[in-house]
Chains A and B, each alone.
Chain A
Amino acid sequence: MALEAQGRSAPEPPEPPSDRAGGARKGRRGLAPYLLTLPGVAWLVAFFAAPLGFMFLFTFYDGTIDIGYSFTSDWPQTYVEAFTTYDTQIIRSVIYALIVTVATLLISFPMMYWIAMKGGRRKNLFVLLLLLPFFTPFLIRTLAWQLVLSDQGIFLGTLKDIGLLSADFKLLASPLAVISGMTYNFLPFMALPLYVALEKLDPSLLDAAADLYSSKREAFLKVTLPLTLPGVFAGSLLTFIPSIGDFIDAEILGNPNTTMIGSIIRRQLLVNQDYPTGAALSFLLIAGILVAVFLYARALGTEELTG
């Protein structure tokens, strides 16, 4: 999806088979694209659509794993209760994810602009350097942040020792720590689509803008930005969607007041085994994201996604 959103021209529809081809061959050729998608479709149905369907069914049930589950006609109440109980965490998750999306955009746009425009032959090296830390697992990276941000860690500890920070200064277990960690962890999801969009930008378009009386600033606003908007769009989705459901950063770097909806869902499903509530929260989240994405696509006017 990310790449398609980048596309300056929509992919061409497959060419109609030539008239010379016989009927049987024509039929087989027409089927080929569908046959090629079969493994992927089967995989998605078995491991994504089906579990999702079961999850959805759970939201119509009531009970726990001990007393068993039964259908309830009062199922809307499950949604209402889930939302009213955890509205704080839901809203917090949305706010954190929004901040993270904006932060990654602000950090990676100048960086990727520089690599794409001025990187020269070393472009790929710079991108690799950016990605290198992300070759380690998510959890390890976050634990490393915990060490870095800890009260007596190498940074805060040193600063406190030399008296630049007061002894009770804290970073860990704060919203700032959670958002910083998430910004770091989701940076590549924003940076890479941006890079693809910026790298594809034909520098002669900027010459053309200058030729047509645009100052550097105007050329950026009228040419660079609109043409990299698909990259901004793709990057925002790839950052916003996973970060809204993230729970690792909040659990490792946060405190009870930074709990995000991902943690709640995980707890409902795996600890409390309250499947109906967990499932209802998941679907509230999915519905919320779909609405947000739709509004965002409308606002950005990304034709590729809204048709």
Chain B
Amino acid sequence: MANVRLEDVSKAFKSAVAVDNVTLTIDEGEFFSLLGPSGCGKTTTLRMIGGFEEPSSGRIWLGDDDVSGLPAHKRDVNTVFQSYALFPHLSVAENIAYGLKRQGVLKDEIGPRVEAMLELVDLEGYGHRRTTQLSGGQQQRVALARALVNRPQVLLLDEPLGALDLKLRKQMQLELKRIQSEVGITFIYVTHDQEEAMTMSDRIAVMSAGRLEQVGAPQDVYELPATSFVASFLGASNLLEGEIEGTSGEITKVHLRVGGTVTLPAGRLPYSDGPVAVGVRPEKLHIQATDSSEMDKADNAIEATVVSSTYTGVSTSYECATSDGTRLIVYVQNLERSASPPGAGERVRLTWDPDHTFAVAKPERKDARAANDRKG
């Protein structure tokens, strides 16, 4: 059974369209992330599911019920807010009990349920404290408990880890994942952190400028991005422009602008002819001397010049440039101590497995650059 369904949902504010015709189905029990740069409409989408914003058009379904016009307090959905929004005049236990009291849950039942929640989020014995006495991580857990105690159909999380430091964030990511599998509730998680989204989610929806760019499992969106925006938002994109030559059987050929032809599995093209961009993730590239004979005949290959190399311990990253100036990033794991790693200015050959090649519509350069800027 579909748990949350958005049908052609749009939201226009006075000055701009925040969400543009989003259609989306989120399954029951799924950990689903809305990922995108700030201003891409992910939080507005979440707020519409929560009932804090009304869609300008389209419908929102919760299970079998159309909740489009239902105010927040009548929806069986709870939210963990970005700023936690804990009630400062109430204790930790009173915060958690707030929703139960409003729903008219019996007093005898509230106490044990609050205690069970404190246990779930590892805050036993904190019930009587003021929320202002807690650390950021603890407040985050209270916010989570306050939402989960109501046993909603869906839990909405709006960048809940944004205010925490890196170490605590990593720890809370695992914790959230554990809690989600324990309670089995659908989580819809908003984040701008692609690594966070990939770590935690069953599926990710990448958004840009109010539109859905791609929806899929983390490895699908990363390995086979559908648009140049997704390609560059989820890591270094390494896009090469070219022209589709044609498909024969299982294999498609693309002639690159810098010269040479690469192949990729059929069915990865956004359209069947015309200009296109092919891409490959930096860790899928191999770097070798131009006169090397190690290369597999079936591999794609391109010649480039090393611009710079950065040694980071686990790996070395090379920035290379093709003859037309396209920059390519290569990550090489430092498996052995290389006697003579290629240095700046050296000509190299970059090779990769055709199966690791993806293709997207020719990038509108502005978009791709903007996406890269926002990541930085």
Question: Measuring CB to CB, which residues of chain A are less than 8 angstroms from any residue of chain B?
Answer: 8-9, 202, 204-205, 207-215, 218, 222-223, 226-227
Contacts and interface: CB of A to CB of B under 8 A. Distances in A.
Nearest to B71: A210
B98 A212 contact: yes
B132 A9 contact: yes
B87 A208 contact: yes
A214 B81 contact: no
25 contacts: A8-B88, A9-B132, A204-B81, A204-B83, A204-B85, A207-B52, A207-B85, A209-B73, A210-B51, A210-B52, A210-B71, A210-B72, A211-B77, A211-B81, A212-B73, A213-B73, A213-B102, A213-B150, A215-B73, A218-B73, A218-B102, A223-B87, A226-B89, A227-B87, A227-B89
Among A9, A205, A208, A211: residue with most chain B CB under 10 A: A211
Interface of B: 50-52, 71-74, 77-79, 81-83, 85-89, 98-99, 102-103, 132, 146-147, 150
Among B73, B77, B99: residue with most chain A CB under 10 A: B73
B87 A207 contact: no
Please report whether the interface of chain A is mostly helix, strand, loop or mixed according to DSSP. helix
A208 B99 CA distance: 10
Contacts of B74: 213
Given A209-B87, A213-B150, 14 more contacts: A8-B88, A9-B132, A204-B85, A205-B85, A208-B79, A208-B85, A211-B52, A211-B147, A212-B146, A212-B150, A213-B103, A222-B98, A226-B89, A227-B88
Contacts of B77: 211
A82 to B, nearest CB: 43
B154 to A, nearest CB: 12
Contacts of B88: 8, 227
A134 B95 CA distance: 42
Contacts of B147: 211
A212 B71 CA distance: 11
Contacts of B102: 212-214, 218
Contact of B81 (A208, A213, A215): A208
B69 to A, nearest CB: 15
A209 B88 CA distance: 12
A220 to B, nearest CB: 13
Nearest to B72: A210
B87 A213 contact: no
B135 to A, nearest CB: 14
A210 B77 CA distance: 11
A202 B79 CA distance: 16
A208 B147 CA distance: 9
Contacts of B73: 209-215, 218
A211 B76 CA distance: 9
Contacts of A211: 50, 52, 72-73, 77-79, 81, 99, 147
Closest 6 CB pairs of A and B: A212-B99, A208-B85, A210-B72, A213-B102, A204-B85, A211-B79
Given A211-B78, A213-B102, A205 B72 contact: no
Contacts of B71: 210
B177 to A, nearest CB: 23
A214 B150 CA distance: 13
